[in-house]
Structures are given as structure tokens and as C-alpha cells.
């Protein structure tokens, strides 16, 4: 991509009401646009990052048997009435709308009801189970105070997987597998070290749920972390009882702020019973399906990655999800130098590299470097009169500032 053709520019100003670091940097670097509080659009560079996050999540969900679907945002009140989740007294963050004939609809804030209805058409016998379906799709939540940039939005993407099992054992087995898949995802996203499996409140059908919490001062949650055992407890369930149950010592725990990047829930028959999702077991008896739900917010993950990987100059993207791997910065002056820089760009493309090529005219080296630091691509490839005279390129790492010189002929 030629930066001269990229329609987004880096910006000096950010919206006055924007308080969060992730949104500030992403807006200034032209990755996102703030439509209103808690509502953001993704622009080319931001969308590339988001798609890479989604791909990693999809790969790991496919690897544990997830089948991808795409459900509607518009929700039929009837099914939500059956599970007693239609009322605004019970669910306080519904967005609701109306058809022309005045019938009310909801904009999905989650999809347990919808997916359970779909499965009723397809699950009849024990032979049809277990099965796992997921989507990466838009959710709407009328959040009271969206103050964490793209980490708490009123419209946001969620990867939500739902598991359908015959027995509690079968469910538990998948639940454990999902924990491993989640840790793989966060490791691939560069958040592995800072992300803790965290015990949280479980609702009616299991004692605990599990959250994946990434340590950061930008987080809205408080958790108690055992760094050696790599496990944490959310403040909301912290007690002597849980310490004993998990074999943790109070003295080994540190209180930390953290971002909930994902969570997994055992749902039992909470949705299958009221909605009538049943199967015939091997003895011909009707049984309700045992369910689980497994969420990750790709946008929140992206915000979390910015929060934990930035410095006073800008963002520092991990390689796996950087919008581009190489920021080729042209400081060429003469026509001949520009042509040679263009050849380097073409060569990198032919080598299959993802390159953002800063071919913009009339900008100082300082301005180009400042923009590059803000955007946060892992490697700068700097081409100048000096490097060209030596048939070389200067490579500078965004994260460490380390530089090295390589010969153009040695590019690979």
C-alpha cells in the first residue's frame, strides 16, 4: 500500500470527549473514526488489524471443532420472552426498535436464544451431538458509560461460540478444551504473558465462570493474581472459600487492574429447557441439551493490545497482527533515488511481504518517522541518499529502536 494513496492521514486533534489511550492513539493514527460515544468505525489500517485478530480467533475455533455461522442482529421478542430476557428490567442494556406495523424487535446483545432456536431444527438425536457453532458478528449494548475507547462500545464485534452437549461430562471436556484454545489465541495475539485465566461469578448453573483477564491499568476489573500459578480470581467472587477451593494463599496474590478480553460460561439447561432444545438419547428418552457459551471481543482485544503495547510516540504492534510488517520509508531526493526506492518496494512485494510504503512527497524525515512511530508497524525500512549510495537499507525495530544495515541484494 502506498501511503500517498491511503486516504487516512495521521491527526493531531482527537475528539475532546475521548479519554482512553487506545482510542486516542487509534484515532490519531487513522485506524478508527469516532462516530459518537461508544461507537467507532474501522478504517483501512484498523480493519487490517481487526481482520487479523478475527482470523486467529477463527483458526483456533475451527481447530476445536467450531462451525462458523452468521446470525441476524434483529431479534424476535418471542424467543426472548420464553427465557425471560426480553424485559428491560431484567436486561438493562437492550437496544430495541420497531417495525412499520409497530411490532417490537431487539438488536442482539448476545445470541443464546437465537442459536438455540436454530439448533432445534437440526438436533434430534444423540447422534447429532455434540456440536459447536460460532460467529463473529455485531452486538448492540446500550452501555451506560462507554469510557474505555474501543474496549466498551455500544456496537461491537463479538466472537461467540455455543456448545451443545449430551452430558455434563461431555460439556466439561469441551469447556476444558476451550480454555486451552483461548490461551492459544491470546498467546498468538501477543497477550499470553499478561493474560490470566480468572475465576468469576457463574450464575445459576455453575459455581464459577472463567474470564480471560489481561493486566492493564486501563482495565475496568479488579482481580487477584497468583503469578506463579498463572491463575486469578475476580474481586466479585473473592473469598476465603474460593482460596481454599483453588489451593491459593492470600499472601501470594496481588491485586491488579485488568481487561476482560474473553469469557466462557457453562449454561446447563438454562436456555435449552425453556426453548425446548431436546434430543432422544440412546434409550429413546427425551433429554435437554447441555449448553455453554464462549465469548471474545475482537475490538476489545485490539484496544487491549494497544494499551499494553504503546509508548509516548505511539503504538507498537506485535508481528502477527500488525497492519503491515514493514514500513518502507522513502527519504529519496532525486528522481533516480526515487526509482531505486520503487524497485525496493516492488522487490519486497514480490517476496510476499506486507508493506506500507511511505512514498509521500514534501515531508521531512522527522515527520515521516513520527508518523511511523505512531502507526507502530514492527519494522521500518529506511531508504535514503546515504543508504542507496551503499546499496543498502537501514532497518529499525519499532519496539527496541535497534537498527541494522542490510544490502538491498540480500532482501528476502
Alpha-carbon dihedral angle through residues 155, 214, 92, 205, given to the nearest 10 degrees: 120
Binding mask 217-256 for Mg ion (x = CB under 5 A): ----------------------------------------
Region near ligand ATP per CB under 6 A, out of 23-31, 82-90, 149-157, 242-250: 149-157
Cα 62 to Cα 217: distance, rounded to the nearest angstrom? 33
| Minimum distance, C-beta of residue 200 to ligand ATP, in the bound complex (Å) | 8
Q: Which does 310 bind (CB under 5 to 8 A by kind): ligand ATP, Mg ion, none?
A: none
C-beta closer to ligand ATP: residue 178 or 263: 263
| Minimum distance, C-beta of residue 289 to Mg ion, in the bound complex (Å) | 24
For ligand ATP, how many residues bind (rule: CB under 6 A)?
17
| Minimum distance, C-beta of residue 153 to ligand ATP, in the bound complex (Å) | 4
| Minimum distance, C-beta of residue 115 to ligand ATP, in the bound complex (Å) | 14
What DSSP string describes 152-189? S-SEEEEEEEEEEESSHHHHHHHHHHHHHHHHHHHHHT
Residue listed under C-alpha cell 516492488: 346
Q: Which does 262 bind (CB under 5 to 8 A by kind): ligand ATP, Mg ion, none?
A: ligand ATP
Q: Which does 156 bind (CB under 5 to 8 A by kind): ligand ATP, Mg ion, none?
A: ligand ATP
Cα 213 to Cα 257: distance, rounded to the nearest angstrom? 9
Binding mask 261-300 for ligand ATP (x = CB under 6 A): xxx-------------------------------xxx-xx
111 part of the interface to ligand ATP, by CB under 6 A: no
Region near ligand ATP per CB under 6 A, out of 39-47, 48-56, 145-153, 402-410: 145-153
Are the CB atoms for 113 and 83 separated by under 8 Å? yes
Cα–Cα separations (whole angstroms), residue 355 to 340, 370, 379:
16, 18, 10
130 cis-preceded (ω within 30 degrees of 0) = yes
Q: Single out the residue of 52, 85, 141, 210 in contact with ligand ATP (rule: CB under 6 A).
A: 141
Q: Which three cell numbers stand for residue 350?
A: 514480490
Cα 153 to Cα 366: distance, rounded to the nearest angstrom? 35
Residue listed under C-alpha cell 462500545: 153
Cα 94 to Cα 142: distance, rounded to the nearest angstrom? 6
Instruction: Kindly list the residues in this chain that would bind ligand ATP in the complex (CB under 6 A).
Output: 110, 141, 143, 151-153, 156, 158, 260-263, 295-297, 299-300
Amino acid at each position: 500500500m502506498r501511503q500517498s494513496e491511503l486516504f487516512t492521514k495521521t491527526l493531531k486533534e482527537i475528539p475532546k470527549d475521548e479519554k482512553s489511550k487506545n482510542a486516542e492513539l487509534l484515532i490519531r493514527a487513522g485506524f478508527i473514526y469516532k462516530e459518537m460515544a461508544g461507537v467507532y468505525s474501522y478504517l483501512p489500517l484498523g480493519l487490517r488489524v481487526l481482520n487479523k485478530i478475527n482470523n486467529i480467533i477463527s483458526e483456533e475455533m475451527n481447530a476445536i471443532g467450531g462451525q462458523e455461522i452468521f446470525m441476524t442482529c434483529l431479534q424476535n421478542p418471542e424467543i426472548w420472552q420464553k427465557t425471560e430476557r426480553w424485559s428491560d428490567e431484567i436486561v438493562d442494556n437492550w437496544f430495541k426498535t420497531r417495525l412499520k406495523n409497530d411490532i417490537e424487535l431487539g438488536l442482539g446483545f448476545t445470541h443464546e436464544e437465537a442459536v438455540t432456536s436454530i439448533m432445534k431444527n437440526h438436533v434430534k438425536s444423540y447422534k447429532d451431538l455434540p456440536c459447536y457453532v460460532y460467529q463473529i458478528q455485531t452486538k448492540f449494548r446500550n452501555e451506560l458509560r462507554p469510557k474505555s475507547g474501543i474496549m466498551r462500545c455500544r456496537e461491537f464485534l463479538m466472537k461467540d461460540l455455543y456448545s451443545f452437549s449430551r452430558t455434563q461430562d461431555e460439556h466439561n471436556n469441551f469447556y476444558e478444551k476451550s480454555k486451552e484454545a483461548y490461551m492459544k489465541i491470546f498467546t498468538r495475539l501477543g497477550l499470553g504473558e499478561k493474560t490470566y485465566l480468572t475465576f468469576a461469578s457463574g450464575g445459576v448453573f455453575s459455581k464459577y465462570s472463567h474470564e480471560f483477564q489481561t493486566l492493564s491499568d486501563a482495565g475496568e476489573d479488579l482481580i487477584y493474581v497468583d503469578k506463579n500459578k498463572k491463575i486469578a480470581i475476580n474481586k466479585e467472587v473473592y473469598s476465603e472459600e474460593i482460596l481454599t477451593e483453588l489451593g491459593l494463599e492470600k499472601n501470594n496474590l496481588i491485586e491488579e487492574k485488568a481487561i476482560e478480553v474473553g469469557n466462557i460460561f457453562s449454561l446447563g439447561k438454562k436456555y435449552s429447557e425453556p426453548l425446548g432444545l431436546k434430543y432422544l438419547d440412546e434409550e429413546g428418552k427425551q433429554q435437554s441439551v447441555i449448553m455453554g457459551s464462549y465469548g471474545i471481543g475482537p475490538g476489545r482485544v485490539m484496544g487491549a493490545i494497544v494499551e499494553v503495547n504503546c509508548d509516548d510516540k505511539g503504538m507498537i504492534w506485535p508481528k502477527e497482527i500488525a497492519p503491515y510488517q514493514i514500513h518502507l520509508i522513502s527519504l529519496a531526493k532525486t528522481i533516480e533515488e526515487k526509482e531505486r526506492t520503487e524497485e525496493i518496494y516492488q522487490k519486497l512485494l514480490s517476496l510476499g511481504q506486507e508493506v506500507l510504503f511511505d512514498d509521500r512527497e514534501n515531508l521531512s524525515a522527522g515527520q515521516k518517522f513520527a508518523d511511523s512511530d505512531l502507526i507502530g508497524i514492527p519494522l521500518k525500512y529506511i531508504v535514503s541518499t546515504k543508504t542507496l549510495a551503499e546499496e543498502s537499507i537501514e532497518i529499525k525495530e519499532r519496539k527496541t529502536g535497534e537498527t541494522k544495515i542490510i544490502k538491498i541484494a540480500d532482501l528476502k
